[in-house]
Amino acid sequence: MARHHLRPLFDRVVIKELEPDRMRNSGLVVPPGSHEPPPQHGIVLAVGQGVDWWETAGVQMPVRPGDHVVFPASAGAWVEVDEERLLVCRVGELLGVLERIEDCPACGGRTLAPGDSCPVCGRTGATNA
């Protein structure tokens, strides 16, 4: 059977959802069925070409295939392609792109002085106690 590729139009992206992480940084486990939905994470599989006026305004698509993104539960529409559940949403619905600290444009993952913090990624330098 032939496999299909969903090509998004305009400012839409196709995302494959990752398994929801119900463990919070604090160690608290959010049980299924609770009122607080877990963060929605996914990997961008494909991006559209953008909207026609973007090029003249110098705007580029802020995500690319392979980016790890965060999106709200209400984003876009779920479709099934070759028995795979995919989200198609507008790029403006995305909440952000998860990046490794080493990729931070401000600090680049370098060692920070004690008490210093990066204004972009929020990482802080170790304090000597």
Q: Residue for token digits 């991006």?
A: 47
Model pTM above 0.85 = no
In sequence order, what DSSP letters do the residues of 44-105 get, joined into one string?
EEEE----HHHHHHT---S--TT-EEEE-TTSSEEEEETTEEEEEEEGGG--EEE--GGG-T
Q: What is the mean pLDDT of the chain?
A: 81
Q: Is residue 104 pLDDT above 70, yes or no? A: yes
The pLDDT score that the predictor gives to residue 69 is 92
pLDDT-derived band of residue 113, with 50, 70 and 90 as boundaries?
confident
Q: What is the pLDDT of residue 11?
A: 92
Cβ(41)–Cβ(6) below 8 Å: no
- Reported as a pLDDT band with limits 50, 70 and 90, residue 92 is very high
Residue ranges of domains in the chain, CATH in brackets: 12-98 (2.30.33.40), 100-129 (no CATH)
Average pLDDT over residues 8-30: 74
Is residue 117 over pLDDT 90? no
Summarised one tens digit per residue, pLDDT across range 24-83 is: 554 555 566 656 566 688 999 999 988 888 778 888 889 999 999 999 888 999 999 998
Q: What share of the chain is helix, strand, coil (3-state, %, to 5)?
A: 10, 30, 60
